[in-house]
Chains A and B, each alone.
Chain A
Amino acid sequence: MRRLAAIVALAILATLPLWVSGTYYVNIASQVLFYAIFALGVNVLAGHAGLVTLGHAGLFGIAAYAAAKIMNAGYGHLSVATGALVVTLMAAGIFAVLALRGTGLGFVMITVALGQIVWGVAYRWISLTNGDNGITITGRPSPLGLSLTTPTRFYWATLIVFVVAVVSMAIFVASPFGASVRGTRDQPRRMNALGYHVWMIRFLAFLFSAFWSGVAGLLYLYYNQFVSPQAVALTASAEALLMVIAGGSATLLGPIAGAGLVVVMKNVASAYIERWNFVLGAIFVAIVVFMAEGLVPGVARLARRARGR
């Protein structure tokens, strides 16, 4: 049954450019897809490992900036992607070692500090990052000779990457390692007593999470042809966490739905009101105060209550 639903969903997504009116919506869809990849990455840490992070935009941004620099140095797209992801994973390794010195709230605090330092570097180290002006790139990859410059082509390429990401997540979740990660979230002391290497499990989960955040950062760069310190601001990390919280962290669909929600809201809100940050903050406060388990499960709970069950 679930297999069927997934196939139907995939069919809908694959044919989206055909039944949607205008490239504006195709572009929104592309954004939803790569932010969903980001949200899935964040969920590995925040949802499955129980380690809430508010600095992941730092890794997303490091991938984008690294890719931009490598590309502007004249390298081909394969080098760009590989190089960017390698740099991201190295940074993630350092971040993980530092952040894992704390647990729970200490971990959050250190990720905030790390994310802000990345932002500070992006903002101030002008000779490296061009500061507030950001870095522009030209061109998207042409895998197998097919250019991705049109919104539709880019959307399909993003969709393929998205499907790979979702499949990798599904495999991870069902795997023994995935079970280990969730175990360290629920009973870290017990896991240690059962023979598991809790720190190493968390470290590896961090790297896996960083990998997909980096992939999302790459797609972001190709989509926008541009990266600036905005991409690594605390608001960006908060939005990523919001996607996970809004959609619920327990399922694969949760972060994806959350990403859809946040991206659409952000685009709609920005069209009518200039105060997206205020709305973002208010939503955070509202969800945390009223629906701790996430928007999707929370709404489901309220609906059940309304039906009188």
Chain B
Amino acid sequence: MTALGVRGLEKRFGGLRVTAEVSLSVEPGERRLIIGPNGAGKTTLFNLITGELRPDGGSVTLFDRDITGVASRRRTHLGIARTYQIITLFQGETLLRNITLSLLGLSPLRWNPFVRLAKRDGLVAQARATLARVGLDDLADRPLAQTSYGERRRAEIAMALAQNPKVLLLDEPFAGLSIEERRDVLRLVNEIPRNVTIVMIEHDMDVALDFAERITVLHFGKVVVEGTRGEVVAHPRTKEIYLGE
């Protein structure tokens, strides 16, 4: 069984073929890295997988179940979670409230207009625990506006982890971080257990290589190289794409 499958995925914007016949299969527990120069269509691919974009052709499967026609909010309930390249956290809230909102998204409690959210001890405890996983539990009550960029990047990952996803999509999780911070985030990601399948987009190879087991290289919306880390690194086309920049 493949955890995440994409077959013949197509997406066009006007005349531009942003995603061209992309197919890939990610095994359960795998650590897959998707790389490619800017404009290669990596984030669009994520948007197609999460359902935020509708494809013009092709299919997406989750644990062998076709989810191409499933609404994006439902895909979250089926076990997909993602982080964003540009931080999209709730600016006016504390870190704790941010994670709580993430937890609520999958809970029927989100429709409840009567109880006091702050008094839901179970939920709050779970939120603190998730923050602890990314090393932010001592900042739980800090308003987001008063956190550093590195802390927010980790909070982004906590948002996704809070939903106990089966498939985690990380969109450029290292963007804008210092070397120290990148090491921290990498350690965080490597600590995620194997019952979570992780697909990461990065466009800076150095950092993400440590993480990757298999790599897919995208260029102009097409898959041009795919294989194990060793195979891809050694592949002449990979060097061409990156050195030819």
Q: Does chain A touch chain B in the assembled complex, meaning CB atoms less than 8 Å apart?
A: yes
A173-205 to B contact mask, C-beta < 8 Å, 1/0: 011111110010011011111111110000000
* B113 pairs with A177, CB closer than 8 A: yes
* Known A187-B88, A187-B90, A189-B88: A194·B102 in contact at CB below 8 Å: yes
* A175 pairs with B112, CB closer than 8 A: yes
Stretch at the interface among B11-19, B103-111, B130-138, B193-201: B103-111
A226 interface hit (Cβ, 8 Å): no
Please indicate the chain B residues that have their CB under 8 angstroms from the CB of A186 in the complex.
90-92
Other-chain residue from B52, B76, B91, B118 in contact with A195 (beta carbon distance below 8 A): B76
> Within the assembled complex, what's the spacing in Å between the Cα atoms of A192 and B104?
12
Please indicate the chain B residues that have their CB under 8 angstroms from the CB of A8 in the complex.
none
Please indicate the chain B residues that have their CB under 8 angstroms from the CB of A190 in the complex.
84, 88-90
A284 interface hit (Cβ, 8 Å): no
CB contacts under 8 Å to A, within B40-72, are 50, 52, 72
> Within the assembled complex, what's the spacing in Å between the Cα atoms of A208 and B111?
13
Other-chain residue from A171, A177, A194 in contact with B111 (beta carbon distance below 8 A): A177
> Within the assembled complex, what's the spacing in Å between the Cα atoms of A180 and B107?
12
* A180 pairs with B52, CB closer than 8 A: no
B77-113 to A contact mask, C-beta < 8 Å, 1/0: 1000010100011111000010011101111011111
* A180 pairs with B76, CB closer than 8 A: no
B115 interface hit (Cβ, 8 Å): yes
What's the dominant secondary structure at chain A's contact region? helix
Report the minimum CB–CB distance from A254 to chain B (whole Å): 15
* A172 pairs with B113, CB closer than 8 A: yes
* B113 pairs with A175, CB closer than 8 A: yes
B232 interface hit (Cβ, 8 Å): no
> Within the assembled complex, what's the spacing in Å between the Cα atoms of A174 and B118?
7
* B84 pairs with A192, CB closer than 8 A: no
> Within the assembled complex, what's the spacing in Å between the Cα atoms of A78 and B114?
25
Name the residue of chain A whose CB is nearest to the CB of B118: A174
Range class of the B interface residue count: 35 or more
CB contacts under 8 Å to B, within A189-238, are 189-198, 208
* B163 pairs with A178, CB closer than 8 A: no
* A192 pairs with B73, CB closer than 8 A: yes
* B115 pairs with A175, CB closer than 8 A: yes
> Within the assembled complex, what's the spacing in Å between the Cα atoms of A177 and B112?
5
B209 interface hit (Cβ, 8 Å): no
* B90 pairs with A196, CB closer than 8 A: no
Please indicate the chain B residues that have their CB under 8 angstroms from the CB of A187 in the complex.
88-90
* Known A174-B116, A176-B104, A187-B89: A193·B110 in contact at CB below 8 Å: no
B117 interface hit (Cβ, 8 Å): yes
Report the minimum CB–CB distance from B22 to chain A (whole Å): 21
Other-chain residue from A175, A189, A191, A208 in contact with B105 (beta carbon distance below 8 A): A191
Please indicate the chain A residues that have their CB under 8 angstroms from the CB of B52 in the complex.
189, 192-193
> Within the assembled complex, what's the spacing in Å between the Cα atoms of A171 and B74?
28
> Within the assembled complex, what's the spacing in Å between the Cα atoms of A232 and B76?
43
Known: A175-B117, A190-B84, A191-B101; 4 extra A-B contacts, CB below 8 A, are: A177-B111, A179-B101, A193-B50, A194-B105
For the complex of A and B, 6 pairs with smallest distance between CB atoms = A194-B105, A195-B105, A195-B76, A177-B113, A190-B88, A175-B113
Question: Interface residues, chain A, CB within 8 Å of chain B?
Answer: 171-172, 174-180, 183, 186-187, 189-198, 208
Question: Interface residues, chain B, CB within 8 Å of chain A?
Answer: 50, 52, 72-74, 76-77, 82, 84, 88-92, 97, 100-102, 104-107, 109-118, 120, 159, 163
Pairs A–B under 8 Å by Cβ, sample size 5: A174-B116, A175-B114, A176-B111, A192-B72, A194-B159
